[in-house]
Structure 1
Amino acid sequence: MEINIQLKSLADKINQLKSKIETEESTKHAFVLPFIHVLGYDAFNPLEVVPEFTADLGLKKGEKVDYAIFQNGEPIIIVECKSWKEKLTVHNSQLFRYFHVTKTRFALLTNGINYQFFTDLDAQNKMDEKPFLEFDITNLKENTINEITKFHKSNFNVDNIVSNASSLKYIKEIKKQINAELENPSNDFTRFFANKVYTGRLTEKVVDEFKDLVQKSLNQLISEKINDRLNAALTKETIKQQDEEIVTIEEENKIITTEEELDGFRIVVAILRRKLPINRIVHRDTQSYFGILLDDNNRKPLCRLHLNGGKKYISLFNQNKSETKLSISCIDDIYEFEKELLETAALYETE
């Protein structure tokens, strides 16, 4: 099963169960251990996942971190868990203390719903105060799933993750700054754009006026970009549909309408012409059957003839448009279904 499907399944499980989870221990078993399993590690194998992991911390003995994930006999990720009801904070976290006494480069703080991954970008062997990867498992974006995949047992590579962690950390912070400027442009941000377009002196009053203009410009630009992408997607879909129509036409060209099928059509017309104008009764041949429709409308099938196989059949339709397939020995047997054909035509006329 692909990791994105497993993460979606876990998110659904969390949404269903969280109201019944009351303790930190329950959070671990219901939410955190399944996440570790999604990463490809066996929670029941002490060579891969060690619960209540203990490391010597100088004079401070006996402190434990909730889990340590091992690879080749060394801890690669240490995990501290909270109850899903608790907010995450790294202050006074045991992760700080354990990070520098183990060989791990990654620490995970989680409440089973929110996940924060840390490393040592700012100072070697000292855990950063801010996570480089942070997400809510019940609301994952595709790019976040790609980052989670890098921690999977089959992909795990310390150097690759660390080299990417710096980019992730700064991208996250830059996005926060951009979002803040979109909501409320700062003076510096406003001046940057005003200087490009305004030739007069940028007084405080002018800057205040430009704040609103900059905000509107950015929002309009984002909307236009979104519309452009939607239109591009719709254009691709239209081209795809046209290609499918071409394929359908090519398939239709392979269809050979037999004289027997046309004779069967004439019999149906002879039955129904007492109730319907002849020009409303239309045949449409396919590779599977010879269809007879009212008003050339696929949603108004009068009957279907199956005459090209070893056995011959006629398909009739009831008021629910359910199909019943009945055996016939020859096309003259169609006359035996006069009543049913007239009832089907009357149903469409009532509609």
Structure 2
Amino acid sequence: MDFIDVIRALGEKVSRLKDTIQTEEATKNAFVMPFIAALGYDVFNPLEVIPEFVADLGIKKGEKVDYCIQKDGQPIIIVECKHWKEELNVHNSQLHRYFHVCSTRFGILTNGIIYRFYTDLEEPNKMDDKPFWEFNITEISDASVFELKKYQKNSFDVDQIVSAATELKYTREIKKIVGGEFSSPSEQFVRYFAKQIYAGVLTAKVMEQFSPMVKKSLNQYVSDQISDRLKSALSNEAEASKVERDPLPQPAEEAKGESKTEFTEQEQEAFFIVKSILRTKIDGKRIFHRDTLRYLNILLDNNNRKTICRLYLNASKKYLALLDEKGKENKIEIASIDDIYDYSDLLIHALLRFEQPAEAELT
């Protein structure tokens, strides 16, 4: 199974079995150890996963963290576990103490359902009070699975994770602030809008009048944005349906095999790489993929007449294929999907051929 399927299967298992799990030890065995194993670490190899890892605190000896994950003989993640019914907030300080005496940059506090990730962004070698990221494994999103892949044994990179952690931490905090203002606008927030549209003195009575109006306006704005996106999605769907009725000629074997294809983990990663390159020029929501038996199509506006590139990833040799104005393929062999970044200019040029022909000629 692909990584995303393994994680979702574990989430379903947790939902199904949690009511039968009566102890913290059972939580570790049934939920947490399979999670660590899903990341690619051998939970039965003491050189990779050390249970009851000793983390002595000064004169206080015998303190132990539930698991220490190692790579190349060095601790990389410590994991503190609690029973699935326990609230994690009250155990934050315990992980904080362990983190201080371990040489790792990352700590996980979990009850087998909620996973909270910590590091030392604010002060070196001192765990931040707040997690930079958390997720519920029974409700995990595709985006969270994509983020979680950074912690797999075969892709673990401290610098890459710390960089991502910084963005996750502050994005998370900003979203909380925005959510709070939407549900209950602060006086400062209301004043910011009121002073731009009200000519008089902002008395307490005026502010009281503006507060519900600001809240209503914010929520109405969000509703309008959702409505616009739904209209856009329906429009794209209608366009795609129209194209499907009059598709480009396609080899019979590919047309037949399209329904049997699987959007593999490797193809997903490659698609996100191409999307991240192209979103510097257009809205990422306009980038689509269609899988065939032989290759992955990357399309603009879900229109197969606007093929940006094709990715051949299912054989021993991998190729990035770009199409010229006549639809002829120009294949470029790549050693790994990361090599796609090396051809960012060509991908952008292919995009602009559909989006801004004049600009493409100058590129």
- TM-score, length basis structure 1: 0.68
1:295 aligned residue: none
What one-letter code is carried by the residue in structure 1 that aligns with 2:199? T
The structure-2 alpha-carbon separation of the partners of 1:143 and 1:44, relative to structure 1 and needing over 3 Å to count, comes to: same
1:256-276: CA deviations, max 9, x gaps?
Answer: xxxxxxxxxxxxxxxxxxxxx
**Which consecutive residues of structure 2, in runs of 5 or more, have no partner in the other structure?**
252-363
Separation in structure 1 between the aligned mates of residue 106 and residue 250 of structure 2, nearest angstrom: 58
Separation in structure 1 between the aligned mates of residue 250 and residue 62 of structure 2, nearest angstrom: 75
Asked whether 1:244 is paired with 2:244, we answer yes
2:101 aligned residue: 101
**How far 1:66 moved relative to its partner?**
0.4
2:228 aligned residue: 228
Secondary structure, in 3 states, of the residue corresponding to 2:170? helix
**How far 1:243 moved relative to its partner?**
1.2
Separation in structure 2 between the aligned mates of residue 88 and residue 119 of structure 1, nearest angstrom: 17
1:347 aligned residue: none
1:186 aligned residue: 186
Secondary structure, in 3 states, of the residue corresponding to 2:79? strand
- Percent identity, aligned pairs only, is 55
Asked whether 1:153 is paired with 2:153, we answer yes
Checking the alignment, whether the CA contact within 8 Å between 2:86 and 2:111 is kept in structure 1 is yes
1:170-209 equivalent positions in 2, closer than 5 A: 170-209=170-209
1:264-303 equivalent positions in 2, closer than 5 A: none
What one-letter code is carried by the residue in structure 2 that aligns with 1:72? D
2:42 aligned residue: 42
The structure-2 alpha-carbon separation of the partners of 1:249 and 1:166, relative to structure 1 and needing over 3 Å to count, comes to: closer
What one-letter code is carried by the residue in structure 2 that aligns with 1:217? S
Checking the alignment, whether the CA contact within 8 Å between 1:83 and 1:112 is kept in structure 2 is yes
The structure-2 alpha-carbon separation of the partners of 1:207 and 1:92, relative to structure 1 and needing over 3 Å to count, comes to: closer
1:224-251: CA deviations, max 9, x gaps?
Answer: 1111111111111111111111249999
Paired residue total: 251
The structure-2 alpha-carbon separation of the partners of 1:182 and 1:30, relative to structure 1 and needing over 3 Å to count, comes to: same
Say which is worse superposed, 25-34 or 53-62, in terms of deviation. 53-62
Checking the alignment, whether the CA contact within 8 Å between 1:68 and 1:75 is kept in structure 2 is yes
1:114 aligned residue: 114
Separation in structure 1 between the aligned mates of residue 230 and residue 209 of structure 2, nearest angstrom: 32
1:74 aligned residue: 74
Separation in structure 1 between the aligned mates of residue 146 and residue 249 of structure 2, nearest angstrom: 41
Checking the alignment, whether the CA contact within 8 Å between 2:92 and 2:109 is kept in structure 1 is no
What one-letter code is carried by the residue in structure 2 that aligns with 1:192? Y
Secondary structure, in 3 states, of the residue corresponding to 1:99? helix
**Which consecutive residues of structure 1, in runs of 5 or more, have no partner in the other structure?**
252-351
1:18-51: CA deviations, max 9, x gaps?
Answer: 1111100110011111111121111111111111
What one-letter code is carried by the residue in structure 1 that aligns with 2:55? A
The structure-2 alpha-carbon separation of the partners of 1:201 and 1:43, relative to structure 1 and needing over 3 Å to count, comes to: same
Say which is worse superposed, 1-10 or 63-72, in terms of deviation. 1-10
Separation in structure 1 between the aligned mates of residue 198 and residue 239 of structure 2, nearest angstrom: 44
The structure-2 alpha-carbon separation of the partners of 1:238 and 1:56, relative to structure 1 and needing over 3 Å to count, comes to: same
Checking the alignment, whether the CA contact within 8 Å between 1:57 and 1:101 is kept in structure 2 is yes
What one-letter code is carried by the residue in structure 2 that aligns with 1:170? Y
Checking the alignment, whether the CA contact within 8 Å between 1:65 and 1:94 is kept in structure 2 is no
Checking the alignment, whether the CA contact within 8 Å between 2:56 and 2:64 is kept in structure 1 is no
Say which is worse superposed, 27-36 or 142-151, in terms of deviation. 142-151
The structure-2 alpha-carbon separation of the partners of 1:156 and 1:92, relative to structure 1 and needing over 3 Å to count, comes to: closer
Separation in structure 2 between the aligned mates of residue 129 and residue 139 of structure 1, nearest angstrom: 25
The structure-2 alpha-carbon separation of the partners of 1:185 and 1:92, relative to structure 1 and needing over 3 Å to count, comes to: closer
- TM-score, length basis structure 2: 0.66
Separation in structure 1 between the aligned mates of residue 22 and residue 131 of structure 2, nearest angstrom: 27
What one-letter code is carried by the residue in structure 1 that aligns with 2:129? E
1:62 aligned residue: 62
Separation in structure 1 between the aligned mates of residue 194 and residue 180 of structure 2, nearest angstrom: 18
What one-letter code is carried by the residue in structure 2 that aligns with 1:131? P
| Structure with bigger gyration radius | 1
Checking the alignment, whether the CA contact within 8 Å between 2:133 and 2:165 is kept in structure 1 is yes
Separation in structure 2 between the aligned mates of residue 249 and residue 156 of structure 1, nearest angstrom: 43
Separation in structure 2 between the aligned mates of residue 188 and residue 92 of structure 1, nearest angstrom: 32
1:128 aligned residue: 128
Secondary structure, in 3 states, of the residue corresponding to 2:188? helix
Checking the alignment, whether the CA contact within 8 Å between 1:90 and 1:129 is kept in structure 2 is no
1:72-112: CA deviations, max 9, x gaps?
Answer: 10110000000000000255743222212221000110000
Secondary structure, in 3 states, of the residue corresponding to 1:100? helix
**How far 1:120 moved relative to its partner?**
0.8
Asked whether 1:26 is paired with 2:20, we answer no
**How far 1:177 moved relative to its partner?**
1.0
**How far 1:147 moved relative to its partner?**
1.9
Q: Which has the higher contact order (CA 8 A, sep 6+)?
A: 2
Separation in structure 2 between the aligned mates of residue 108 and residue 186 of structure 1, nearest angstrom: 34
The structure-2 alpha-carbon separation of the partners of 1:137 and 1:250, relative to structure 1 and needing over 3 Å to count, comes to: closer
